Chain A
Amino acid sequence: MKTKEWVSDLQNFYLLSFQGLWVLMKRPFYSKDAIEQMDYTGAGSLFIVLLVSLFIGMALSLQLSAELSVLGFKMYIGKIVGVSIIREIGPVMTGLVFAGRAGSGMASELGSMILGHQVDTLRVFGVDPIKKLVAPRILSSVIMLPALTIIGDTVSILGGYYIAVFVGHQSAAVYWSSIRGVLNFENVLSGFVKPFVFGYLIACISCFMGLSTKGGAIGLRRSTTRAVVLSFIGIIVADFILTRILFYLLGFTL
């Protein structure tokens, strides 16, 4: 891609990201569209988030049980599972699942609307595509991804509990006591801020890629793939940056 086009795309992406938020504060509100999107992105992603979270929690607990029992630190399983799930793995993993399922859906839906002249039709009707199409997707993502993350974190911790107690033979009371110990303000805030940012990123990237679709079925494939790949990269990079900022703001010591 030529540098000029790349810069222009970046500029348009920032514009869309800003406008997507700005128009949320202006009438008319397409609440029906937002609710439909919440159903698609939230309820639609729930099962896969539950499944992935359960197995991630169980795998993490299994790995820790094996290593920590050798060192005689099995009582720390709950604490390590809790901290890593709440602060890091939960938000990132749920974000990646969300990007793969909902983000790709947004990009392909908007892309096919572009190719089928449906977006042009909206503009002819005097409807702002950013307001009608992008804003509801941003709103649904920033609401549903944090909700899914909370559910996913809970299921991961339950999965970790099952392995730690029934396979690793750790005391259930110790496990839950450790989990309660890590559910402090700093950890919860750290795990709760990330999904908001990830949801916003995923929605903006996916909508931008969808609305930039050109060139038929091949173009649609390209924009959908780019939406998912860039969302993944965005989540991973943003996670590091947010972690660094939150460490600083919340006073975590290294």
Chain B
Amino acid sequence: MIVFDRVSFSYGTHEVLREASFSVRFDERVAILGGSGEGKTTLLKLLLGLLRLDSGRILVEGKDIRDQSEEELREIRMQFSIVFQEGALFDSLNVKENVAFGLREYTKMTEGEIDRKVRELLGRVGLEDAMDLMPEELSGGMHRRVAIIRSLAAFDPRMFLYDEPTAGLDPVNADIICRLILNLSKDGKGFIIVTHKVFDALRLADRFMFLKGGSIIFDGNKDRLMNPSVPEIQLFLRELNLPPAP
């Protein structure tokens, strides 16, 4: 279980999260919606201990991440697989080396074994021919697919974290990424996806939260999301071009 308990965080004087509270099970499929700059990415970074919260608590399986050393945080981070916005592939490494990065750091696999594993993983996302390409030679969709595969190459995560995985992609590539995300969560693994794309969130998640003004102002299922009482969510739903409620 992941618990955010009255978490506050500021970048300097700019308050991003104000006593945000929620809890998520590792097998849940959650979408956190919200506008740009509302702190969605910050939530994920706080969860992984990449940022230090100002106040409140974040518990991962009962462990307060504030009390953990960098070594202990490493153990916690290994339970997750995160894909940052736009993939965050290492510019100086080609596709093969990017995917092999975690394998080289965490396993004692031989070069031959790494090569076979990378080929197999890239084959799962139809990119076995892109092994020698550099990140700048990849399209946006290919970038995300490599990033997703890289994130799970070295360890077997319990939960996936996706930061705007379909942002800036055309509908065809967004569809490929959504199918990949659903495919990876088939065996009961949950995910938290932060996005401002309602259409993709509805397709992927079972539970939805809405972040506004640093707090979670909505937490519910699809039916509740589609009939919101909160004006900000109604604005977001306009993206879907739904007919007005009778």
- A interface residue numbers (CB < 8 A to B): 5, 36, 112-113, 116-118, 120-121, 123-128
Asked if B88 and A125 sit within 8 Å, CB to CB, the answer is no
Asked if B105 and A124 sit within 8 Å, CB to CB, the answer is no
Task: For the complex, give the distance between the alpha carbons of A120 and B73 in Å.
Answer: 13
In the complex, the chain B residue whose C-beta lies closest to that of A5 is B12
Interface of A, secondary structure class, is helix
Known A-B contacts A117-B85, A120-B50; the reply to A127 vs B105 at CB < 8 A is yes
- B interface residue numbers (CB < 8 A to A): 12, 45, 48, 50, 70, 74, 77-78, 80, 82, 84-86, 88-92, 101-102, 105-106, 154, 163
In the complex, the chain A residue whose C-beta lies closest to that of B161 is A124
Task: For the complex, give the distance between the alpha carbons of A126 and B91 in Å.
Answer: 19
Task: For the complex, give the distance between the alpha carbons of A237 and B46 in Å.
Answer: 40
Known A-B contacts A125-B105, A125-B154; the reply to A120 vs B84 at CB < 8 A is yes
In the complex, the chain A residue whose C-beta lies closest to that of B78 is A126
In the complex, the chain B residue whose C-beta lies closest to that of A121 is B88
Task: For the complex, give the distance between the alpha carbons of A120 and B50 in Å.
Answer: 7
| Beyond A120-B45, A124-B77, A125-B102, 5 extra complex contacts between A and B, CB < 8 Å | A113-B91, A118-B90, A124-B80, A125-B105, A125-B106
Asked if B82 and A124 sit within 8 Å, CB to CB, the answer is yes
Task: For the complex, give the distance between the alpha carbons of A218 and B77 in Å.
Answer: 31
Task: For the complex, give the distance between the alpha carbons of A36 and B80 in Å.
Answer: 31
Task: For the complex, give the distance between the alpha carbons of A113 and B181 in Å.
Answer: 25
Asked if B88 and A118 sit within 8 Å, CB to CB, the answer is yes
Task: For the complex, give the distance between the alpha carbons of A116 and B84 in Å.
Answer: 9
Can you report 5 residue pairs joining A to B where beta carbons are below 8 Å apart? A113-B91, A116-B91, A120-B84, A121-B82, A121-B88
CB distance from B37 to the nearest CB of A (A): 13
Asked if A121 and B84 sit within 8 Å, CB to CB, the answer is yes
In the complex, the chain B residue whose C-beta lies closest to that of A33 is B92
Task: For the complex, give the distance between the alpha carbons of A127 and B77 in Å.
Answer: 12
Asked if B50 and A118 sit within 8 Å, CB to CB, the answer is no
Residues in chain A near residue B154, CB distance under 8 A = 125
Residues in chain A near residue B102, CB distance under 8 A = 125
Known A-B contacts A125-B101, A125-B154; the reply to A120 vs B88 at CB < 8 A is yes
Residues in chain B near residue A127, CB distance under 8 A = 105
Which listed residue (B82, B88, B106, B163) contacts A116, Cβ 8 A?
B88
In the complex, the chain A residue whose C-beta lies closest to that of B147 is A121
CB distance from A134 to the nearest CB of B (A): 15
Asked if A117 and B78 sit within 8 Å, CB to CB, the answer is no
CB distance from A175 to the nearest CB of B (A): 46
Asked if A124 and B50 sit within 8 Å, CB to CB, the answer is yes
Known A-B contacts A120-B45, A120-B50; the reply to A126 vs B74 at CB < 8 A is yes
Task: For the complex, give the distance between the alpha carbons of A121 and B88 in Å.
Answer: 7
Task: For the complex, give the distance between the alpha carbons of A120 and B46 in Å.
Answer: 11
